[in-house]
Amino acid sequence: MKTSILLTCALLISNNAFASKHVHWGYSGEQGPDNWASLSGDNFSCTGNNQSPINLTGFIESELKPLEFYYQAGGNKIINNGHTVQVNYEKGSYIKADGIQFDLLQFHFHAPSENHINGESFPLEAHFVHADKNGHLAVVAVMFKEGVENKGLAAAWDKIPMHEGDSNTFVKVIAANSLLPANKGYYRFNGSLTTPPCSEGVRWFVLKEVVEASKSQIEAFKATMHGPNNRPLQAINARVILQ
C-alpha cells in the first residue's frame, strides 16, 4: 500500500507539479495553505509533523557523504500550471544519495523561497524533484539571490509560458546542471511535498551555495504567477537538520 501511494505521488509530481486535477487549491484565501487539509481527504498529510518548508537552523554537524549528480541535458517541455513553472525532464538523469538512484523527473520554482536558511528568505528557489524505483522522493533545493543574469535560467525563460495552462516545447533540450552551484555541499532534513497532498517521507537536500539570477529574470517568473507561490514555514518539531 505504501509503495503504491508513493508511486502515485511520483506520477503526480512528474506530470503536474503536485497539482490535483480534481481539487483546486492556491496560496491565498479559502483555498490557501491554512485550508489545504480540509479541501480533500487526500491532503491529510498537510497537518503532519514533518512538513516542508522549514527555516533551516540549529544545524547538527555530520559527516554527510557527497551527493552524486549524473545530470545530462533533458529538459524538453516547460509548463505553467497556475501553481508554478515546471520543466519536465527526459529519462536518464539522476542523483545518488544513500546509495540509491533517484531519477530526475522535473524542476520548478517558487518566489519567494519556501525554505529559509538561518532566518533568511531568498527571492527565488528551484526544486529538482527525483524518485527512486519504488517511488520514494528526493528534492534538491537551490536558492537564488539577485545579481547577474543566470545563463541556465535564461535558456528556460526563453520559452516561459505566461498564462496558466500554457506550455512550450524546447527545440534544444536544456540542462538542469546549468542551474546548480559549483559547490554541492548541502543541508539535509526529512520533510514533505510543499504542495498538496503534502506527502511526507521526502528526503530534502538544500544546497548551501546560493546562485545568482538577474532582477528581470526573477520578475519574469513573478509575472507569470501573479502573486507569491510559497507555502509558509512549517514547524521543525523533533526533526534534526544535518550539515
The three cell numbers locating residue 162: 505566461
Active-site annotation holder among 22, 83, 116, 163: 83
User: What's this model's pTM, rounded to 2 decimal places?
Assistant: 0.92
Task: Indicate if the alpha-carbon torsion angle 96, 98, 104, 108 is positive or negative.
Answer: negative
83 in active site: yes
The DSSP call for residue 92 is T
**Could you report the per-residue pLDDT of 4-40, keeping only the tens digit for each?**
444 445 544 554 444 444 689 999 999 999 999 999 9
Domains, in order of start, for the chain: 2-225 (3.10.200.10)
DSSP assignment of 92-145? T-EEEETTEEEEEEEEEEESS-SSEETTB--SEEEEEEEE-TT--EEEEEEEEE
**Could you report the per-residue pLDDT of 53-107, keeping only the tens digit for each?**
999 999 999 999 999 999 999 999 999 999 999 999 999 999 999 999 999 999 9
